[in-house]
Amino acid sequence: MENNLTFTMIKPDAMEKGYFTKIFSIILKSGFRISALKLIHLTRNQAKTFYKIHSNKPFFEELVAFMTRSPIVVAVLKKDNAVDDFRKLIGSTNPEEAEEGTIRKKYASSIEANAIHGSDSDENAQIEIDFFFKN
């Protein structure tokens, strides 16, 4: 991968509030293009596997329950410097710390229900893309 792909999820809180089109409009206006996209309802097993790095954290069970409570959109986005540029666009994990104008500042409601995911490295982007899009 040449630093030009990242992976995102529009999380249950944002989907339930109807923010999907507003969030994707910001993403497209910021120069990202959609390489792949689908609507899915995560199973508990999928959520536990995707977030296994957090399995020892106190919030793990709550996170799995949150991510499986309603459908989400998963997508692969393309742009030069995709991972870093997308992390800047979505803002800090905790919306209270997110910069003005970022997607989480606008649409997230808590550190858990933070509206959107973005890969944190090129290596993890590829792992996350494969998790949802490799047959």
Q: Name which of 2 and 91 has its Cβ closer to ligand CMP.
A: 91
Query: Which residues in this chain contact ligand CMP in the complex, by CB under 6 A?
Result: 54, 59, 63, 93, 111-112, 114, 117
Burial of 18 (C-beta count, 10 Å sphere; 0-12/13-18/19+):
exposed
Residues taking part in catalysis: 117
Least Å from the CB of residue 83 to ligand CMP: 13
Least Å from the CB of residue 3 to ligand CMP: 20
Residue 45 to residue 80: CA distance in whole angstroms: 33
Q: Name which of 30 and 112 has its Cβ closer to ligand CMP.
A: 112
Nearest to 104 by CA among 29, 23, 37, 38: 23
Least Å from the CB of residue 93 to ligand CMP: 5
Residue 14 to residue 109: CA distance in whole angstroms: 9
Q: Name which of 37 and 135 has its Cβ closer to ligand CMP.
A: 37
